[in-house]
Amino acid sequence: MTKKELREKYKSLRADLSNREQDLISNQIKENLLANFDLKGKKISCFVPIARFNEINTWLILDSVDAKFYLPVIGPDDQLKHLLYEGKDKLKQTSWGILEPQSGEEIDPSELDFVLVPLLTINKEGYRVGYGKGYYDKFLARCSSKCVFIGLYQFDEAEVIDDLHESDIAMHYCVTPKGLLGADNL
């Protein structure tokens, strides 16, 4: 399937999840993430969930891990920059309905230890389908080769993506409600 077809399919599947199902999935993903990765004291990029898109509740991770979290902000050059997360009270909602820090310590992508990446679906090679703007692929290209990219995925099946692009960047791992998929078994 094409990325466009997969976006439509997975947006629809997400929309069909009840609040109870979404809460259960988010908790399972958090537990599987923490069971497989030592995040304590690390520098981590983490996205804030967009409720209207029924995204994984990453507040569960942000509120339970003793690490330095950096949240993405779309800069004036259409590049993602990451600012230190200093609490929900320091976030403001953008015109897109996304909570973002308005100021704070910015981290160079090369200094991050982990990036928790949003996605709609993923293939067996670790390539993801996002919302189609390319923000994350451009950002991930600027990270250190030591940085670990972890997709957070509400479903468990990998898809075939027919229209990969040379600028697409694969995840090292993907955390699902059932467990962990590595680059060798996605």
Closest to 4 in 3D by CA, of 163, 135, 169: 163
State residue 183's pLDDT score: 54
- Tell whether the model's pLDDT for residue 186 goes beyond 60: no
| Extents of the domains making up the chain | 3-126+137-182
- Tell whether the model's pLDDT for residue 185 goes beyond 70: no
Closest to 85 in 3D by CA, of 105, 65, 56: 105
> What's the whole-number mean pLDDT along residues 18-30?
96
**Mean pLDDT across the chain:** 93
CATH number belonging to domain 3-126+137-182: 3.40.50.10420
> pLDDT-based confidence at 92, cuts 50/70/90?
very high
- Tell whether the model's pLDDT for residue 25 goes beyond 70: yes
Give 28-74 pLDDT, tens digit per residue.
999 999 999 999 999 999 999 988 899 999 999 999 999 999 999 98
Structure tokens at 186: 């996605």
Percent of the chain's residues with pLDDT above 70 = 98
Give 124-165 pLDDT, tens digit per residue.
999 999 998 889 999 999 999 999 999 999 998 889 999 999
Percent of the chain's residues with pLDDT above 90 = 83
- Tell whether the model's pLDDT for residue 184 goes beyond 60: no
Of the two residues 17 and 102, the one the predictor is more confident about is 17
State residue 160's pLDDT score: 95
State residue 109's pLDDT score: 97
State residue 102's pLDDT score: 87
